[in-house]
Amino acid sequence: MATNGGQKVVWFQAAGCTGCSVSLMNAAYPDIKNLLLDELVPGKGISLLFHATLMGPTGRPALEVLERAPAQAAGDYILVVEGAIPTAHPNFGRVGEVPMAERAAELARKAIAVLAVGSCASYGGIPAGAPNPTGCVGMRELLRKEGADTPVVNVPGCPPHPRWFVETVVTLLTGGLPRPEDSDEAGRLKAVYQGLVHEHCPRRPDFDVDRFAPAFGSQGCLYELGCKGPFTNAACPEHAWNSGVNWCIRANHPCIGCTEPDFPDNFAPMFRKLSLEQELDTYRREK
């Protein structure tokens, strides 16, 4: 934006809730002002072209920015996608009359890379929950269907912690596109996501001695209340949330596995201890 020579970014919202944008606005060091105005790594910052929630222009002048980007900035912008992409019918989601799937695919084709922010843009997320009424898919799946080969980097979470977004962006600004071995099977940067919540959970000692919380509001390991920490890759225990003031498990709430593919169906019901069958499924998927 104010940064000369900044990396151009188009932020496209589809079937989502704006929670990923609000989460990014909760970033601290760098905060949202730094992200918009300053260099994030020496000599490089972000130049935001389009973001419907924050941008000044509205209607036609706003739409023109979005429509001109693929031609005027071809091969020169990163496309950030927030929200899943409805594919079952063109009328399930439109921006400026054009179906979201069409816009997302066109914007992605001319982008350097796609950052799929949040579990919806990464894997379909909540709107793709069974029976997935609108045929929602994540960006990898959309581009596979459309035969587009733009690389997609997933930054999942419902929403993702702002730090995971910032770490992924500064990685791209510093070293360019990630090598295949930098990402896990779910398309996330290993450096950002690898490590189970359970491995770093401060309540791990409770788990190890079978000290389980019996009900909401009580202390102890939350496994019996349905915690999905043992199967969820996320650095929540290390970072905590909202400038570190709290996070799900510290607030006595079981982890619901929101950074994993197939959330929210993977571990449903959320408040029930996983059955042995579900555990085995998860284990097989990971192997």
Partner 1 sequence: MTRLAIDPITRIEGHLKVEIQVEDGVIKEARCTGALYRGLEEILRGRHPLDAQRITTRICGVCPLAHSTAASLCLDDALGLSPPRAGQLLRNLIYGANFLHNHILHFYHLALPDYLPSGALPGALSPGTNEDRRFSPEEANRMASHYLQGLEVRRKAQELVALFGGKMPHDMSIVPGGVTYRPTLGEVAAFRFRLKEIMGFIEASYIPDLLLLAERYHDYFQIGTVENLLAYGCFPLEGEKLFPAGVFLNGGVVDFDPGEIREGFSHSWYQGDGHQPPWEEEAPPAPDKPGGYSWIKAPRYRGEPCEVGPAARVAVALARGREELKEIARDLLREAEASLGELSSAMGRHLSRGIEALVIGRAMEGWLSQLDLSAPVATEYRIPEGARGQGLSEAPRGAVGHWLEIRGKKIARYQVIAPTTWNASPRDAEGVPGPMEQALQGTKVARDGALEAGRIVRSFDPCLACAVQ
**Residues with catalytic annotation?**
17, 20, 120, 158, 198, 201, 221, 227, 236, 248, 255, 258
Q: Which of 175, 148, 3 is nearest to 81 (CA)?
A: 148
Minimum distance of partner 1 from residue 110's CB (angstroms) = 19
The span from the CA of 84 to the CA of 263, in Å, is: 13
The span from the CA of 284 to the CA of 287, in Å, is: 5
Q: Write the single-letter amino acid at 117.
A: V
Residue that the structure tokens 């005027």 belong to: 72
The nearer residue to partner 1, 17 or 182, going by C-beta atoms, is 17
CA distances to 54, 67, 77 from 72, in Å: 22, 9, 10
The nearer residue to partner 1, 141 or 171, going by C-beta atoms, is 141
Give the chain's length.
287
Catalogue the E-assigned strands of 202-255.
none
Minimum distance of partner 1 from residue 219's CB (angstroms) = 10
CA distances to 26, 45, 86, 100, 244 from 16, in Å: 18, 26, 10, 12, 25
Q: Which of 223, 188, 220, 215 is nearest to 202 (CA)?
A: 220
Minimum distance of partner 1 from residue 282's CB (angstroms) = 18
Minimum distance of partner 1 from residue 12's CB (angstroms) = 11
The span from the CA of 26 to the CA of 35, in Å, is: 11
Minimum distance of partner 1 from residue 10's CB (angstroms) = 10
The nearer residue to partner 1, 90 or 151, going by C-beta atoms, is 90
